Amino acid sequence: MKFEILTIFPEMFSPYLREGVFGRAVNSGIVDIRIINIRDFARDSHKTTDDRPYGGGDGMVMKPEPICRALDSIEREKRSLVIFLSPQGRRFDQASAWELSEWEQIILICGRYEGIDERIRLHCIDREISIGDYVLSGGELGAMVVMDAVSRLIPGVLGGETSNLYDSFEEGLLEYPHYTRPRIFNGTEVPDVLLSGDHEKIRIWRRTESLRKTLEKRPDLLKRANLSQEDDRILNRLKKGTWGSDAGNKESGSENKERGCTVF
Ligand code: SAM
């Protein structure tokens, strides 16, 4: 997977490209990133990439020619997509990340100021993507968000090949809660079932907590989720309030009452 990023602030990407999962993906060559400085394609002595808007008004507009030349300089793969990061684009989500992970080459154009000249949008762009309904000062953060979400879906980028299977949104649900050592923290114990070694009980507990979190935090997701009969049964009980309300936690020192998941 190749990412080509067009920006006037290439330095913004350096720390991000070095660190964590994404840094490892870049170092191992699974993900190939090229940062293209749009300014290098400006032909005047001041390397101008923006100008005043026709019609007047505040703010500057990114000039079309440097962006166009920068795009022309890219060797295009067969399956290549040009994306403009824009608050006016389609809202980015996990399904979009999966779809983008199928492409060979993704070219991300980062706008600044009032945005880019409309003719670039009309003639050179395949898709506009927004990372949310708010306005940022530039597309660079959006480009990082898209690259991160897409690249972690590419085989080999995450350590275990299944480690993203249960992430939030993958099955239309939010993910279940996680615990690690110590066993008791701030008076709250890790749910017993996670220490039981019983894989079936753990599976049902995780599914229940995933459904519970989705019901509590994002009930809108349940309408589109692919739910099994078992899920429907669990959800019915959660809705009736007959399935505990505290993720199975026990407070240390308190009475050892089973409040969480009851395995059926
Ligand atoms: N005047 C533009 C408008 O109202 O649609 C906003 C321009 S914004 C200040 C500058 C640049 O930041 C945009 O061209 C775009 O590349 C980027 N940007 C801002 N908000 C964004 C968002 N929610 N998602 C993706 N990119 C965004």
Q: Right CATH number for 2-151 from 3.40.50.10490, 1.10.3720.10, 3.40.1280.10, 3.90.1150.10?
A: 3.40.1280.10
Structural tokens at position 255: 């009475």
pLDDT of residue 160: 65
Q: Is 152 a catalytic residue?
A: yes
Pocket test for ligand 1, best of 92, 121, 135 (most atoms within 8 A of CB): 135
Q: Single out the catalytic residue among 167, 170, 175, 192.
A: 167
Q: Look at residue 257 and tell me whether its pLDDT is greater than 50.
A: no
Answer whether 2-151 and 168-253 agree in fold: no
- Which residue is associated with the tokens 């749009």? 38
Asked, as a colleague might, if the bond just before 182 is cis with ω within 30 of 0, I would say yes
| Residue 60 per-residue DSSP state | -
Q: Single out the catalytic residue among 10, 53, 87, 177.
A: 87
* CA 27 – CA 158 distance, rounded (Å): 13
Contact between 118 and 69 under an 8 Å Cβ cutoff? The reply is no
Q: Look at residue 208 and tell me whether its pLDDT is greater than 70.
A: yes
- Using a 6 Å cutoff on CB, does residue 191 contact ligand 1? no
Extents of the domains making up the chain:
2-151, 168-253
| Residue 156 per-residue DSSP state | T
Structural tokens at position 52: 């005043």
Rounded to the nearest angstrom, the distance between the alpha carbon of 204 and the centre of ligand 1 is: 43
Contacts 24+ apart (CB under 8 A), 219-224: 221/169, 221/172, 221/173, 221/174, 222/172, 222/173, 224/172
Rounded to the nearest angstrom, the distance between the alpha carbon of 74 and the centre of ligand 1 is: 23
Q: Look at residue 247 and tell me whether its pLDDT is greater than 60.
A: no
- Using a 6 Å cutoff on CB, does residue 88 contact ligand 1? yes
User: pTM to 2 decimals?
Assistant: 0.89
| Residue 83 per-residue DSSP state | E
Q: How many CA atoms lie within 13 A of 258 on its CB side?
A: 7
Q: Is 114 a catalytic residue?
A: yes
Q: Is 87 a catalytic residue?
A: yes
Give the contacts of 84 (CB within 8 A, at least 6 positions apart). 109, 111, 116, 120, 121, 125, 127, 128, 129, 139
pLDDT of residue 253: 37
Question: Measured between alpha carbons, how far is residue 241 from residues 10, 90, 193 in Å?
Answer: 52, 37, 20
Q: Look at residue 99 and tell me whether its pLDDT is greater than 80.
A: yes
> What is the mean pLDDT of the segment spanning 94-99?
96
Q: Is 53 a catalytic residue?
A: no
* CA 63 – CA 138 distance, rounded (Å): 15
The whole-chain average pLDDT of the chain stands at 91
Rounded to the nearest angstrom, the distance between the alpha carbon of 132 and the centre of ligand 1 is: 10
What whole-number percentage of the chain has pLDDT above 70?
Answer: 90
> What CATH number should be reported for the domain whose range is 168-253?
1.10.1270.20
- Using a 6 Å cutoff on CB, does residue 37 contact ligand 1? no
Q: Single out the catalytic residue among 40, 65, 77, 114.
A: 114
Contacts 24+ apart (CB under 8 A), 22-27: 22/147, 22/148, 22/151, 22/152, 24/157, 25/151, 25/154, 25/156, 25/157
Query: Hey, what amino acid is at 250?
Result: K
- Using a 6 Å cutoff on CB, does residue 110 contact ligand 1? yes
pLDDT of residue 242: 78
pLDDT of residue 110: 98
Pocket test for ligand 1, best of 84, 85, 148 (most atoms within 8 A of CB): 85
- Using a 6 Å cutoff on CB, does residue 214 contact ligand 1? no
> What is the mean pLDDT of the segment spanning 41-46?
97
* CA 117 – CA 126 distance, rounded (Å): 15
> What is the mean pLDDT of the segment spanning 53-58?
96
Contact between 7 and 140 under an 8 Å Cβ cutoff? The reply is yes
CA-derived radius of gyration, the chain: 24
Q: Single out the catalytic residue among 152, 206, 207, 212.
A: 152
